[in-house]
Amino acid sequence: MSQLVEVKVPDIGDFDDVSVIEVLVKEGDTISENDSIITVESDKASMEIPSSASGVIKSMRVKLGDKVSEGVVLLTLEPSDEEVSSKDTKEKPKADAASEPKEQTEPKSKSSKEEATALPPESEHKQSSKTYIAQSSDAGDKVGKTKESPTAAFALSGKEIRNLPHASPSVRQFARSLGVDLSQVKGTGRKSRIVLDDVRNFVKSALSAPGGITTGSSTLGGSGLSLLDWPKVDFAKFGEVDTKPLSRIKKISGANLHRNWVMIPHVTNNDEADITDLEAFRVQLNKEYEKAGTKFTMLAFIFKAVVQALKKFPEFNASIDGENLVYKKYYHIGFAADTPNGLVVPVIKDADKKSVSDIAKETAELAKLARDGKLSPTQMQGGCFTISSLGGIGGTHFTPIINAPEVAILGVSRSYQKPVWDGKEFKPRLTLPLSLSYDHRIIDGAAAARFNAFLSQLLSDFRRALI
Ligand code: COA
Ligand 1 neighbours, Cβ below 6 Å, are 297-299, 335-338, 343, 363, 367, 388-392, 400, 412, 414-415, 432
Q: Do 292 and 437 fall within a single domain? A: yes
- Which one of 60, 79, 98 terminates a domain? 79
Examine residue 90 and state whether it is found in any structural domain, yes or no: no
State whether residue 63 is helix, strand or coil.
coil
Q: Do 321 and 454 fall within a single domain? A: yes
Q: Do 180 and 281 fall within a single domain? A: no
pLDDT score for 40: 79
Q: In the chain, how many domains are there?
A: 3
Model confidence band, residue 463 (pLDDT cutoffs 50, 70, 90) = confident
The length of the chain in residues reads: 467
132-136, 208-212, 278-282: least confidently modelled range: 132-136
Q: How far is the CA of 165 from the centre of ligand 1 (A)?
A: 40
**Alpha-carbon distance 178 to 172, whole Å?**
10
**Alpha-carbon distance 74 to 268, whole Å?**
58
> Measuring CA to CA, which residue among 81, 80, 24, 23 is closest to residue 56?
80
Q: How far is the CA of 343 from the centre of ligand 1 (A)?
A: 14
Give the mutation target among 260, 275, 289, 299 for probing the ligand 1 site: most ligand atoms within 8 A of CB: 299
Examine residue 136 and state whether it is found in any structural domain, yes or no: no
78-82, 109-113, 171-175, 326-330: least confidently modelled range: 109-113
Examine residue 95 and state whether it is found in any structural domain, yes or no: no
Q: Do 404 and 273 fall within a single domain? A: yes
Q: Do 307 and 450 fall within a single domain? A: yes
The pLDDT tens digits for 380-392 are: 999 999 999 999 9
Q: How far is the CA of 390 from the centre of ligand 1 (A)?
A: 6
> Domain range for residue 201?
171-206
Amino acid at 354: K
- Which one of 30, 64, 79 terminates a domain? 79
CATH code where residue 24 lies:
2.40.50.100
**Alpha-carbon distance 95 to 73, whole Å?**
10
Q: Do 277 and 186 fall within a single domain? A: no
State whether residue 413 is helix, strand or coil.
coil
Examine residue 245 and state whether it is found in any structural domain, yes or no: no
CB 71 within 8 A of CB 98: yes
State whether residue 237 is helix, strand or coil.
helix
- Which one of 27, 62, 79 terminates a domain? 79
Peptide bond before residue 340 is cis, with ω within 30 degrees of 0: no
**Alpha-carbon distance 126 to 120, whole Å?**
12
Closest protein CA for atom 5 of ligand 1: 391
Q: Do 439 and 325 fall within a single domain? A: yes
CATH code where residue 268 lies:
3.30.559.10
CB 411 within 8 A of CB 306: no
**Alpha-carbon distance 162 to 21, whole Å?**
7
Examine residue 119 and state whether it is found in any structural domain, yes or no: no
pLDDT score for 238: 97
> Measuring CA to CA, which residue among 338, 345, 458 is closest to residue 409?
345
CATH code where residue 200 lies:
4.10.320
Tell me, yes or no, if 440 is annotated catalytic. yes
Closest protein CA for atom 32 of ligand 1: 337
Q: Do 314 and 453 fall within a single domain? A: yes
Amino acid at 153: A
Examine residue 157 and state whether it is found in any structural domain, yes or no: no
Q: Do 202 and 268 fall within a single domain? A: no
CB 301 within 8 A of CB 278: yes
Average pLDDT, the chain: 80
Examine residue 94 and state whether it is found in any structural domain, yes or no: no
Between 23 and 155, the higher pLDDT residue:
23
According to DSSP, residue 449 is labeled: H
What's the whole-model pTM score?
0.60
**Alpha-carbon distance 141 to 200, whole Å?**
11
CB 40 within 8 A of CB 24: no
Q: Do 306 and 423 fall within a single domain? A: yes
Dihedral angle computed from the Cα positions of residues 247, 250, 255 and 257, in that order, rounded to the nearest 10 degrees: 180
Closest protein CA for atom 14 of ligand 1: 392
Examine residue 224 and state whether it is found in any structural domain, yes or no: no
How many degrees, rounded to 5, is the angle at CA 385 between CA 395 and CA 272? Answer: 35
CB 196 within 8 A of CB 171: yes
pLDDT score for 84: 57
Model confidence band, residue 111 (pLDDT cutoffs 50, 70, 90) = very low
Q: Do 270 and 193 fall within a single domain? A: no
Three-class HEC string of 70-105: CCCEEEEEEECHHHHHHHHHCCCCCCCHHHCCCCCC
Q: Do 442 and 329 fall within a single domain? A: yes
